[in-house]
Chain A
Amino acid sequence: QSVLTQPPSASGTPGQRVTISCSGSTPNIGRNSVSWFHQLPGTAPKLLIYRNNQRPAGVPDRFSGSKSGTSASLAISGLQSEDESDYYCATWDGSLNVVVFGGGTKLTVL
């Protein structure tokens, strides 16, 4: 069972806006920045969002992150078929002194 809770699945149709939640607690999300990664099957994860809402170079502005209290969210607007992937949130947990990941959310574009 993951320290960070994500829905196991999410779906949307092309053009829609989808959000993926990541719920934690004070020692992790409550006190530290959240990163989001996406991963296609058989490939390495890639950074999508860092420091809660910052996009690295090359990530489209369709992807946005936010954080409030002990929860974070990833929003994908203008959904495209190539967005079909697994998405993970992660942050540092100052109580456990480890990086914690969410269990992952499989996004399906219908």
Chain B
Amino acid sequence: EVQLVESGGDLVQPGGSLRLSCAASGYTFSTYWMDWVRQAPGKGLEWVANIKEDGSEKNYVDSVKGRFTISRDNAKKSLYLQMNDLRAEDTAVYFCARDLMGASCHWGQGILVTVSS
């Protein structure tokens, strides 16, 4: 069974940093693109970033460029999102997803990040 489990969410002050992790199991992690998608409270889905199977290509939404870094460790079957200089508008539930636009799309359950003083 495919499982994606996010962790690392927390309450952090503006300007602070946080690292989210997504642990994958039940499939060959290294054969799929991975994405991070977030959802602010009461709002719609917003794509954040994605990373190619081997980590050689990464894309980001403009609002997080220069502040967030997506990475993966295929040996550990894990996806990461390093978030720096956090702002109130980054408050959201963050989901990791496999093969977001494909037939094998699968989402994690999400993890809450709250940026507040």
Contacts and interface: CB of A to CB of B under 8 A. Distances in A.
Interface residues on A, range: 20 to 34
Contacts of A102: 44
Contact of B105 (A35, A86, A104): A35
Best-surrounded residue of A37, A45, A90, A92 (most CB of chain B within 10 A): A45
Chain A binding site: helix, strand, loop or mixed by DSSP?
Answer: strand
Contacts of B62: 96, 98
Contacts of B82: none
Interface string B45-88: 11100100000000111100000000000000000000000000
Contacts of B109: 43-44
A46 B109 CA distance: 10
A45 B47 contact: no
A104 B107 CA distance: 17
Interface residues on B, range: 20 to 34
Nearest to A104: B44
Contacts of A103: 44
B113 to A, nearest CB: 15
Contacts, number: 61
A2 B44 contact: yes
Contacts of B47: 90, 98-101
Given A35-B101, A50-B101, A91-B101, A98 B110 contact: no
B100 A90 contact: yes
Given A33-B101, A47-B105, A101 B44 contact: yes
Contacts of A100: 47
Given A96-B62, A99-B50, 17 more contacts: A33-B101, A35-B100, A35-B105, A50-B103, A88-B44, A90-B100, A90-B101, A92-B101, A98-B47, A98-B59, A98-B61, A99-B35, A101-B37, A101-B45, A101-B47, A104-B44, A104-B45
